[in-house]
Structure 1
Amino acid sequence: MADPPLLSVTDLKVTFPTPRGPVRAVDSLGFEVRRGRTLGIVGESGSGKSVTSMAVMGLHTAAEITGSVRLDGQELVGLPEREMNRLRGRKMAMIFQDPLSSLHPYYTVGEQIAEHHRVHIRSGRRAARERAVEALAEVGIPEPRRRAGEYPHQFSGGMRQRVMIAMALACEPELLIADEPTTALDVTVQAQILELIAALQQDRGLAVVMITHDLGVVARVAHDVLVMYGGRAAEQAPVDPLFAVPSHPYTRGLLDSLPRLDDRDDEPLRTIPGSPPSLLAPAPGCAFAPRCPRLATATDQERSRCESERPSFGGAAGHPVACHLPAHEGVAS
């Protein structure tokens, strides 16, 4: 019998009030993550990836959140802030996109990691300082005792990201959410950070949610993939089937936009025509319909259905996909 999921999200909705009306940034989203597994959440900017991660961490202050977010069986939606503070850092942790803005410029990195440990573990100052040095060593920072006394601006971008990982994992959480952790890094450093997260996951049995727009990162580290579009789930599958036979036209478009080794040097990158949908006035049908290439060869009845009826998130293509015209295995998309 399979172990129960560490993180279970069901029918999650996140709505922000605005002067022009409510914006539902995440709509009826559901997924699970088990210990030792990595879920990659991908999509364009504005698809709801980061909003989802912030909702799981309980970091939204002005949003209306409904549905269910369960961590190791405990419901997080509606949990008092004091209880959430106990869970954040100790049971679940998050790595943000920009480490320089996440680290305080006036305190050494060792002080910041030690403070994190003292708050969540209730350790003494000396023990917290030693744990900070250990954490820096665990993430591969050379001379960790000396560098613990340095400030964030004295570290390179890749080293600052390692500091953020050290801080996130200092209290040994069970769930790690990484929100675009390699976006600002060059390719070599990016590979090092991804290898570091994978190694720490293997050692500790971490459940990891990797949020990114880079399908190359997903292919490298994820076990399962959730593709989001317009705040909704478009497709979800294990990484190999999704890359081999994508069913949703949006997933196909994301994969086609990647550069290929057999492309000519002067060949432009492929793009998905059109723009992401408005979340202020969502279309009644499929959110991707205005950009969908499959409608060009669809019948009038199929086109009408796509434009007027919201597709359900089901398994008609062998894994969950929200599309009236999914590509099936063995059928070109």
Structure 2
Amino acid sequence: MAAEPLLSVRDLTVTFPTGGGPVRAVDSLSFDVHRGRTLGIVGESGSGKSVTSMAVMGLHTGAEVTGSITLDGRELVGLAERDLNRLRGRKMAMVFQDPLSSLHPYYTVGEQIAEHHRVHFGSRRAAARQRAVEMLAEVGIPEPERRAGEYPHQFSGGMRQRVMIAMALACEPELLIADEPTTALDVTVQAQILELIARIQQERSLAVVLITHDLGVVARVAHEVLVMYGGRAAEQAPVEAVFAGPAHPYTRGLLDSLPRLDDADDTPLRAIPGSPPSLLAPAPGCAFAPRCPRAAAADADARERCERVRPRLAASDGRAVACHLPLSPDTAPMDRTRKAIP
């Protein structure tokens, strides 16, 4: 019998009230994450990735959240704020994109990590500070005893992100959500942060949700991929299957937009034509239809179906895809794309 997932999301819908009407930022989303596994959630800006992660953490205020989010069998949707506070840090933790917006400039990094530990465990100051030093050492910060007494502005961008990871893991959570943790970092530091997350995951058997717009990042560390578009799931599959041959035209477009190792220096990046859909007035059919080359090349009946009938997420051969005109992996060779994978 397969192990139960640590995190299970079913029919998650997140709706925000706005002056122009309700915006359904996430629409009927479902996925699982098991211990020791990494789920990469991928998509353009506005696809619902970060909204999903914030819903798991219970951080939305003023939004209507429906569906089910269970963490180790415990339902989180509708849970009281005091109960969520007990789970944040102890059971689940999050690393945000910009560490400077999360780290307080007036306190040393050691104090901030130590406070996190004291809140959840009630430990004494000396024990909490020692835990902070240990965590800084674990995430690869040299001279952790000295640097625990320094302030966030004295750290580089990559080191600040390591501090955020140390803070997130200080109370030994079972689920780590990393929301675009490498976006502002150069390629070398990005690789170091990804390797750090992968190493700690293996050592602690963490369940990890990695939010990113970069499929190259997903290729390095993820086991499964969830591709989102317009707040919905477009494709879900093991990472190997996605890179061997995507089934959804949007996934193929994301892969084609990656730079290639065999491209000349002046080769322009490939972009998906058009813009992401408006969530104020969602189309009745496939959200990707206006930008989809498959729909554009289809006959009138097939094109009308794409535009008017919402595709259901259908599972087959270990993957699920929401598309009326899916690609066949056998007819979608990805040789050039494989060269772009780090």
TM-score, structure 1 as length reference = 0.98
| 2: CA distance, partners of 1:200 / 1:82 | 29
The answer (yes or no) to whether the contact 1:317–1:326 under 8 Å persists in 2 is no
Unaligned runs of at least 5 residues, structure 1: none
The answer (yes or no) to whether the contact 1:317–1:329 under 8 Å persists in 2 is no
Q: Which residue of 2 aligns with 1:126?
A: 126
Shift of 1:50: 0.3
1:141 aligns with 2:157: no
Shift of 1:299: 1.6
Shift of 1:318: 5.3
The answer (yes or no) to whether the contact 2:68–2:75 under 8 Å persists in 1 is yes
| 2: CA distance, partners of 1:173 / 1:322 | 33
The answer (yes or no) to whether the contact 1:38–1:207 under 8 Å persists in 2 is yes
Q: Which residue of 1 aligns with 2:244?
A: 244
After TM superposition, the runs of 4+ consecutive aligned structure 1 residues lying more than 3 A away are: none
Q: Which residue of 1 aligns with 2:163?
A: 163
| 1: CA distance, partners of 2:125 / 2:64 | 39
1:151 aligns with 2:143: no
Stretch deviating more after TM superposition (290-299 or 261-270): 261-270
Q: Which residue of 2 aligns with 1:71?
A: 71
Q: Which residue of 2 aligns with 1:288?
A: 288
The answer (yes or no) to whether the contact 1:225–1:242 under 8 Å persists in 2 is yes
| 1: CA distance, partners of 2:81 / 2:295 | 47
Q: Secondary structure at the match of 1:117?
A: helix
Task: Tell me which amino acid in the other structure corresponds to 2:267.
Answer: E
Give the 5 Å matches for 1:1-333.
1-316=1-316, 319-332=319-332
Task: Tell me which amino acid in the other structure corresponds to 1:199.
Answer: R
The answer (yes or no) to whether the contact 1:317–1:327 under 8 Å persists in 2 is no
The answer (yes or no) to whether the contact 1:13–1:24 under 8 Å persists in 2 is yes
Shift of 1:262: 1.9
Shift of 1:315: 1.7
| 2: CA distance, partners of 1:19 / 1:259 | 39
Unaligned runs of at least 5 residues, structure 2: 334-342
Task: Tell me which amino acid in the other structure corresponds to 2:211.
Answer: I
Task: Tell me which amino acid in the other structure corresponds to 1:180.
Answer: E
The answer (yes or no) to whether the contact 2:246–2:332 under 8 Å persists in 1 is no
| 1: CA distance, partners of 2:294 / 2:227 | 18
Aligned residues: 333
Task: Tell me which amino acid in the other structure corresponds to 2:209.
Answer: V
Stretch deviating more after TM superposition (317-326 or 279-288): 317-326
Task: Tell me which amino acid in the other structure corresponds to 1:18.
Answer: T
| 2: CA distance, partners of 1:125 / 1:318 | 50
Query: What root-mean-square deviation, in Å, do the aligned CA atoms of Structure 1 and Structure 2 show?
Result: 1.0
Shift of 1:316: 4.7
Q: Secondary structure at the match of 1:202?
A: helix
| 2: CA distance, partners of 1:279 / 1:241 | 30
Shift of 1:329: 2.9
The answer (yes or no) to whether the contact 1:36–1:207 under 8 Å persists in 2 is yes
Shift of 1:268: 1.1
Q: Secondary structure at the match of 1:325?
A: coil
Q: Deviations over 1:65-97 (max 9, x none)?
A: 000000000000000000000000000000000
The answer (yes or no) to whether the contact 1:218–1:225 under 8 Å persists in 2 is yes
The answer (yes or no) to whether the contact 2:177–2:208 under 8 Å persists in 1 is yes
